[in-house]
């Protein structure tokens, strides 16, 4: 069983807990170190999910983006949530692809939707939105209806088709 308090103390992090969900919050600079420790020392061999939260205009928030890694130890069934924060103007994190191959598409999705770059990712392209798309739709400052992208297509009329 991972002792989260002792674990985050190694990385100047903090911890919190909500209904058996244990979070280990570490600074972005210590993310690779913490992820690697969780994998090798504590046996969290499965990366269940990578996602992000935009804390723009969130009450009491000090950082713009939170990036969340949900980890699972498939031997013991133990779960932990590793979390870190990044900020504008150029949010970037080291990729955890070298630790968990499953990070490949998940990090691409976070990049596609939030514009957070993952350094060291082998193939950081858009995955959900079209390649030509320029915005990051899940950022809170992106309007729900977009900036007119959905209207921007050639029109085929009856006469020319």
Partner 1 sequence: MAEKLPDNVFLTTLDAAASWARKNSLWPMPFATACCGIELMATASSRFDLARFGAEVMRFSPRQCDLMIVAGRVVMKMLPVLQRIWMQMPEPKWCISMGACACTGGVFDTYAVVQGVDRFIPVDLYVPGCPPRPEQLIAALIEMQDIVQKTGTHNGREFGRRTTATGPIPIELDEIRRSREALPIVDLPIYNSPNLN
What is the binding site for partner 1 (CB under 8 A)? Answer: 129-130, 132-135, 137, 141-159, 161
CA torsion angle for 117, 137, 17, 101 (degrees, to 10)?
Answer: -40
Residue 5 or 128 with smaller CB distance to partner 1: 128
Residue 72 or 129 with smaller CB distance to partner 1: 129
Q: Shortest Cβ distance from residue 63 to partner 1 (Å)?
A: 17
Residue 20 or 57 with smaller CB distance to partner 1: 57
Q: Shortest Cβ distance from residue 126 to partner 1 (Å)?
A: 10
Q: Residue holding tokens 């999705």?
A: 109
Rounded Cα–Cα distance for residues 13 and 4 (Å): 10
Q: Shortest Cβ distance from residue 160 to partner 1 (Å)?
A: 8
Do 109 and 127 form a contact (C-beta atoms < 8 A)? yes
First to last CA, the chain: 65
Residue 60 or 130 with smaller CB distance to partner 1: 130
Residue 77 or 148 with smaller CB distance to partner 1: 148
Phi, psi for residue 86 in degrees, rounded to 5: -130, 160
Q: What is the DSSP letter of 24?
A: E
Q: Shortest Cβ distance from residue 28 to partner 1 (Å)?
A: 23
Q: Shortest Cβ distance from residue 112 to partner 1 (Å)?
A: 12
Phi, psi for residue 85 in degrees, rounded to 5: -125, 140
């Amino acid at each position: 069983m991972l002792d989260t308090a002792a674990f985050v103390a190694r990385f100047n992090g903090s911890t919190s807990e909500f209904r058996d969900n244990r979070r280990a919050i570490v600074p972005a600079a210590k993310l690779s170190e913490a992820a690697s420790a969780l994998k090798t020392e504590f046996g969290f061999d499965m990366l269940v999910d990578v996602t992000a939260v935009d804390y723009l205009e969130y009450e009491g928030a000090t950082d713009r983006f939170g990036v969340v890694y949900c980890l699972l130890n498939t031997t013991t069934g133990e779960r932990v949530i590793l979390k870190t924060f990044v900020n504008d103007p150029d949010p970037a994190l080291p990729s955890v692809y070298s630790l968990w191959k499953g990070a490949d598409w998940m990090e691409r999705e976070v990049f596609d939707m939030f514009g957070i770059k993952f350094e060291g990712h082998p193939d950081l392209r858009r995955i959900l939105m079209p390649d030509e798309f320029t915005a990051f739709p899940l950022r809170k400052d992106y309007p729900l209806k977009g900036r007119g992208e959905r209207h921007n297509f050639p029109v085929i009329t009856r006469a020319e088709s």
